[in-house]
Chains A and B, each alone.
Chain A
């Protein structure tokens, strides 16, 4: 089995110039390997250490399948499979192009190292001599449909950036042409879309499963995913004007860094040098391997970039042109990236140099990043009115003046910063919406719809996040069955508490009803004890509406039979999901629109 792996990897590298057939063969071999491992999961073959550690015979069948990628080894194998799959697709669509060999060679190079890593440090096919009776079960937190699909989506996003990286490298050798830009736009858009989807899925999961009542925690691993996402956002935007070779080398640099950040991300997560909810079990040899992988790619690709950068003739944008605004947007995005980067890695630095563990909390990130997000939103606005500024200076300036005046007046009143920003974002939203409507009614069509929609959804998202932050509230209470409590205009009643047994866990089920005016909603919150391993998890009770969510976490039982309960009213959660989905749709539309697939 393993021999086949190594053999294929080397074969693949040697004969890559022969074309796309080998990538297909490579993919099939990996596919068979994955299918084989999946089969062991479904068969409860606990002789495999990996199966033993991540499954049990009580686990429902679909989770047995998803347990495949629930830990380090399997998820890495899945990533490799996806990478080879993307290579196949890449070849399928465009294999006759002249830069394809280089793109393939780069991707194969990455694949080769990944395979080495897989085989030597994290082999999922290792077996016990004696077969144990039962496994130690899949981590209960991961027994959730959203989290079953989250990792594959995330890895797809990562490997798609490996493909864009390989194309960028190819472009540096063979020169950038119209066709290559088209392809780059397609792959970059696709990976951006996928990564965003993965982040959204993760957020939704965190909100519903972790029971913390939040959707983003500035947890190190979340930040690490955010790094390539931010770079990817800048990259995708910089591609827009790449046809005119404006800022070409900048675009290339972003393409490279996006990929490098994704490798860096997997190093940090998989080597266990950060503490986080997501960390995989750590093993120093993995860390060393991934770090050297990062070093190799970083030095070779950046070296290549700087040696070729003279050849990449770029044009420089004019002042106050759309391209100039784009440049500002990229700067802001990269500064956000830098903040996230610093905040996430600073604890490692202090640990190494001062032997001191410290924490950088959400406070740091939100206080620095939120002003920058407002700047970005301001840029959306500026971008929309740029053409007006040129055509009709007086009116636009007047409008801007009025806008500034309103804001100054508001600034004079003693509104808190958060209320002020709420008003600002709301105003921007209204203006952008009106502008889109005016355009729709006058020309019956919106130019570059995905952009308008995408920007609108980002403003909406920001508004929703602000509202959520400002108005959400929660209370800790102690309730007995039959008790009720009034909070913020709603009445919470604990109807009953029962103990129920399920296939692989026992659960305490608490049934609540929430009354507000005449509406009554019923919620169920659980506390589960998993049979294998005895892990206890809380299942949050959530009732969602467009404006607000009721969110109930069941706590501990007291001596007198009452239970501690955390009841929260969260505003704007639904709006956060909706605007993210609109954003995703506009990304997808923007990506596939020109290609007619």
Chain B
């Protein structure tokens, strides 16, 4: 009797375990480990400056459709997605604002001279604190902000495929 109930218990556990694992293996929609920032408000608590040291008007980020792209001269993936960003700004009406993340201004400027500058301007976030509060975990990341609300957030490289999936519908 005792053996039988033990048997049932163990077998039930095993079946549950195996089916859970199977479900886990079959799970195709990748769940992001880190929650993305979609649906949140863009919150700016500090003064921002662009690469030339001019103060950035906060309204320019909070009004209309703004594509924010976190980049740095030391970031290799940023260099990879750079041509794509250029193509997007050339072919569509996109207001692209850079967030220069933990970068020296002279390195950043050299990067833009060498590779072209698709950005309307770039916020110089040397300490990374603006990006940190935005939920950035590294470069590159891209946010689409419409009237101060983040509607789309990509962690990592943006290419044609990602663009079509996450951003194209808004343009």
A and B touch in the complex (CB under 8 A): yes
Question: Which residues of A are interface residues toward B (Cβ below 8 A)?
Answer: 267, 271, 273, 275, 284, 287-288, 291, 294-295, 298-299, 302, 306, 309-310, 345, 348-349, 351-352, 355-357
Within 8 A of A (CB), among B1-60: 3, 7, 10-11, 14, 17-18, 20-25, 27, 31-33
For A291, what are the chain B residues with a Cβ–Cβ distance below 8 Å? 18, 21-22, 25
Say yes or no: B21 contacts A351, CB within 8 Å.
no
Say yes or no: B25 contacts A302, CB within 8 Å.
no
Bound-state Cα–Cα, A287 to B24, Å: 10
Q: Specify the main secondary structure of chain A where it touches its partner.
A: helix
For A299, what are the chain B residues with a Cβ–Cβ distance below 8 Å? 14
Min Cβ gap A310→B in Å is 8
Whether A273 contacts B21 in the complex (CB less than 8 A), given A302-B11, A306-B3, A306-B7, comes out as yes
Bound-state Cα–Cα, A593 to B33, Å: 51
Whether A351 contacts B24 in the complex (CB less than 8 A), given A275-B33, A306-B7, A309-B3, comes out as yes
Residue from B3, B11, B25, B31 whose CB has the most chain A CB atoms within 10 Å: B25
Say yes or no: A349 contacts B20, CB within 8 Å.
yes
Say yes or no: A271 contacts B31, CB within 8 Å.
no
Say yes or no: B21 contacts A267, CB within 8 Å.
yes
Residue from B21, B27, B33 whose CB has the most chain A CB atoms within 10 Å: B21
Q: Which of A288, A294, A310, A345 contacts B25 (CB 8 A)?
A: A288
Q: Which of B7, B17, B18, B27 contacts A351 (CB 8 A)?
A: B27
Whether A273 contacts B25 in the complex (CB less than 8 A), given A302-B14, A306-B3, comes out as yes
Q: Which residue of A lies closest to B76 (CB)?
A: A534
Bound-state Cα–Cα, A306 to B3, Å: 8
For A302, what are the chain B residues with a Cβ–Cβ distance below 8 Å? 7, 10-11, 14
Whether A352 contacts B11 in the complex (CB less than 8 A), given A288-B25, A309-B3, comes out as no
- A sample of 30 cross-chain residue pairs with beta-carbon separation below 8 angstroms, ordered by A number, consists of A267-B21, A271-B25, A273-B21, A275-B33, A287-B21, A288-B25, A291-B18, A291-B21, A294-B18, A295-B14, A298-B14, A299-B14, A302-B7, A302-B10, A302-B14, A306-B7, A345-B17, A345-B20, A348-B20, A348-B21, A349-B20, A351-B24, A351-B27, A351-B31, A352-B23, A352-B24, A355-B31, A357-B31, A357-B32, A357-B33
Contact with A along B155-171 (1 / 0, CB 8 A): 00000000000000000
Q: Which residue of A lies closest to B14 (CB)?
A: A298
Bound-state Cα–Cα, A348 to B20, Å: 8
Q: Which residue of B lies closest to A272 (CB)?
A: B25
Bound-state Cα–Cα, A349 to B23, Å: 9
For B33, what are the chain A residues with a Cβ–Cβ distance below 8 Å? 275, 357
